[in-house]
Amino acid sequence: MILYLDTSALVKLYVEEENSSTVEHAVSKAKIVATHLIAYVEAQAAFARLCRESVISEEMLENIQADFEKDWPHYMKIGLNQSLLERASEFAKAFALKAYDSLHLAAADLLLKKANEEVIFGCFDKKLNQAAKIIGFSLLS
């Protein structure tokens, strides 16, 4: 099984939140864990925000960032190209998604079309999950 994680799911691997154990379990079962390159920036921004909001300490932030940097090379990363941008734009219009959510869905859709095995979509955004289900994904739950 291939597990595609948007940033909301990816962050749960590094910060203990509701559903963190669900993501950890799915990652342990996955042959490949994939995400879009934009998740790097989104995750780093999320970690910094959690520190600014005093949800995590500076020391925790440093440890989380170190763990994330160590793991990042092991994820399959979907890059950006014109056709992916166009597909993301279509999804943004069709499902009223935010820009980065549309990019994640387009990246996962590309993976779904090319994979010879099940692709599970891991996300904790209701609207994005609804769109993913409509286009044929099994959802992480």
pLDDT digit string, tens, across residues 27-69: 999 999 999 999 999 999 999 999 999 999 999 999 999 999 9
- Mean residue pLDDT of the chain comes to 96
| Confidence class for position 119, pLDDT limits 50, 70, 90 | very high
Average pLDDT score over residue span 84-106 = 97
- Total count of domains within the chain: 1
Whether 141 has a pLDDT exceeding 90, the answer reads no
Q: Residue 75 maps to which CATH number?
A: 3.40.50.1010
Contact partners, residue 1, CB within 8 Å, separation at least 6:
29, 30, 31, 117, 118, 119, 120
Average pLDDT score over residue span 7-23 = 96
Residue 68 structural domain? 2-139
